[in-house]
Amino acid sequence: MQCSEKLRAHRYKHPIMRSPTNLWLNVTTPVSYFINFITLKTQIMKSKKLLLLMLLPASAFSQQQSETFEIANRVHSGTAPVESSFTAVKFEKTECLTDVQRFQLRYEIARNRKAILEQNPDAFKTLQKITPFQNPFRPKAGFTDYGYHTLQYQVDHNLTPNNNLLDYNCGTRTYDWTNGNHQGTDFILWPYPWKRMQENTMEIVAAAGGIIVDKRNTFNDLNCTNNGNPSWNGVVIEHADGSFAVYMHFKKNSATTKEIGDTVAAGEFLGLAGSSGSSTIPHLHFEIRDAASNVIDPYQGACNSMNSASWWQQQENYYVPRINRIATHSSTAQDNTCPVVENTYEKVNFNTGDLLVLKLYYRDIKPGDVTNIKITDPNGSVTSNFDWTQNWGVFYPTAHAYWTFNVTSAWMTGVYNVQSTFGGNTYTTVFGVRTNLGTEESPQENISVYPNPVGDVLFIKSNNGIESAEIIDLAGRIVMKAGDELKESRITVATLIKGMYLLKFTDRNQKVKTVKFTKK
């Protein structure tokens, strides 16, 4: 993402940059003039080190990089893992839009705004007062996992480029390059980004109400290169105070049906996270500009040099230590080929001789953070209890780890419980040994149960319908079979006692699936 702030000191000095209000939008000069200007003045601009109004840097992720460490476990009781490994996921940082492309975009937004005012001269005057931002995304209805995204990069407040980094909290969760700085916030789908994208897991919503002044919806959304591709899907929304929110990299044909000039309310659906434009992983690039086109970092912090107050209704903590997913697998492999939908290798039933792989997918793990893992057998006895400390001296916003075990004949038949404690929260999953819990989840299939945790009625959603269903407790006992109400895709569970259960059901294709849920 290329976005130098060096331009601030120069922006009113050049004749085509003059504007009494909003530099980004008050552009009436034909785009051809801009392009000719760029061509004729290249050497002058280079000598002055101006960056040609780099007002809209897009995020640019390269193929996943990784840094892997062997985990040193402290075993408190029971069986020790055979192998343990931690992987920090990283992304290459590069610029993505050329100067000509930025001028083209600026011109298009100005043209759209002019057309809006021709239709309704008071369009922007009638907007309701801007309110503090709400979260610009949400999970799809029925999503029940612990998490689905990480915050990978923030705005860079150190305007000296070339690896001089400073985020709003005085950390380095940002990046720059040889002649520019990152000017937005990047939220990536994690884990299984391509799978989550195909499942429409991350819905982009308006952080604040306003008018759509730019919209793109038909470009390819499976991009894997950082080549300055200007063909991103997304929207730009102007707020009542003249500030702008930029939402980029949407999934193809997922953008709101509303058009340029229409108003949107805070929290209104805008699109789905994808990988259009200069992007190599599904994510949302969220960028804010004030009415004078200055970069706004919506996060308040000691090192925010752009604005003193937070723009959020409730600003999220800088560190959000969380396990987004805990699951058992048949392999240690981690698919990361762009843009292939991942094989998760998830598996819930194991037999004697199988390799059992436990994986945790982290958001925000820093030096000193401790993870505890405890496995209990069908009788409730602890079979393995160990922990480990992240001691590599580096903070990682996106990571995963695994532990392997050999399933032997000594393992008791039944359902096992796995409990992991991290960042003050507890995460659980279950697996079976020599049971009929089902097979691993299909990478393409959309299965959900909600609400989860559930009180009285559990609703089930499956692309392939449901023929039969039963509920199993952690001891492997069938405690309930669904009746006629299953035709309405629901099961009454009011009589179940508090705890975790497995919902095992057979779909219309006679495939058996198992989903965890908690009775509260």
CA dist 206 and 258 (Å) reads 13
* Residue-level pLDDT at 465: 81
Distance of CA 386 to CAs 64, 322, 378, 421, Å?
Answer: 30, 18, 19, 11
pLDDT tens, position by position, 255-301: 999 999 999 999 999 999 999 998 889 999 999 999 988 889 999 99
* Residue-level pLDDT at 95: 62
* Residue-level pLDDT at 358: 99
pLDDT at 100 over 80: no
12 or 392: whose pLDDT is higher? 392
Burial class (CB in 10 A: 0-12, 13-18, 19+), 239: buried
Q: What is the dihedral of CA 280, 284, 159, 230, to 10 degrees?
A: 60
In a domain, 32, yes or no: yes
* Residue-level pLDDT at 49: 32
Tell me which of 247, 264, 296 is where a domain ends: 296
Place of tokens 């805990």: 326
Buried b / exposed e across 371-392, counting CB within 10 Å, b at 16+?
A: bebbbbbbeeeebbbbbbebee
Tell me which of 278, 296, 314 is where a domain ends: 296
Q: Beta strand 283-289 with 234-238: parallel, antiparallel or unpaired?
A: unpaired
Distance of CA 332 to CAs 345, 490, 494, Å?
Answer: 8, 35, 39
Task: Return the structure tokens found at 457.
Answer: 């009625």
pLDDT tens, position by position, 155-196: 999 999 889 999 999 999 998 877 778 889 999 999 999 999
Q: Beta strand 447-450 with 457-462: parallel, antiparallel or unpaired?
A: antiparallel
Mean residue pLDDT across the chain: 84
pLDDT tens, position by position, 455-485: 999 998 887 788 888 898 766 678 898 888 8
Using alpha carbons, select from 223, 82, 210, 199 the residue that is nearest to residue 143: 199
- What share of the chain has pLDDT > 90, as a percent? 62
pLDDT at 368 over 90: yes
* Residue-level pLDDT at 36: 40
Distance of CA 395 to CAs 59, 64, 150, 402, Å?
Answer: 21, 17, 13, 19
In a domain, 487, yes or no: yes
Sign of CA dihedral 447, 450, 455, 458: negative
**Up-side HSE of residue 109: CA atoms within 13 Å toward CB?**
26
**Up-side HSE of residue 94: CA atoms within 13 Å toward CB?**
16
In a domain, 330, yes or no: no
Domain range for 473 is 447-520
pLDDT tens, position by position, 400-459: 999 999 999 999 999 999 999 999 999 999 999 998 776 444 443 567 788 988 999 999
pLDDT at 492 over 70: yes
> Of the segments 89-93, 108-112, 388-392, which one has the largest average pLDDT value?
388-392
> Of the segments 51-60, 310-319, 439-448, 506-515, which one has the largest average pLDDT value?
310-319
* Residue-level pLDDT at 445: 52
Tell me which of 247, 279, 296 is where a domain ends: 296
CA dist 417 and 380 (Å) reads 8
CA dist 480 and 476 (Å) reads 12
pTM of the model: 0.81
pLDDT at 5 over 60: no
How many folded domains does the chain comprise? 2
Kind plus residue range of the DSSP H or E element containing 197? helix 193-198
Task: Yes or no: say if 191 and 402 are a contact pair by the CB < 8 Å rule.
Answer: no
In a domain, 158, yes or no: yes
* Residue-level pLDDT at 440: 43
pLDDT tens, position by position, 199-210: 999 999 999 999
In a domain, 360, yes or no: no
pLDDT tens, position by position, 14-51: 332 333 233 344 443 343 343 343 333 333 333 333 33
CATH number for the domain harbouring residue 509: 2.60.40
* Residue-level pLDDT at 20: 29
240 or 519: whose pLDDT is higher? 240
pLDDT at 223 over 60: yes
In a domain, 346, yes or no: no
CATH number for the domain harbouring residue 122: 2.70.70.10
517 or 6: whose pLDDT is higher? 517
pLDDT tens, position by position, 41-74: 333 333 333 333 333 444 444 456 789 999 999 9
> Of the segments 57-66, 320-329, 496-505, which one has the largest average pLDDT value?
320-329
Look at the chain and count its residues: 520
pLDDT tens, position by position, 328-345: 999 999 998 999 999 999
* Residue-level pLDDT at 167: 98
Task: Yes or no: say if 236 and 255 are a contact pair by the CB < 8 Å rule.
Answer: no
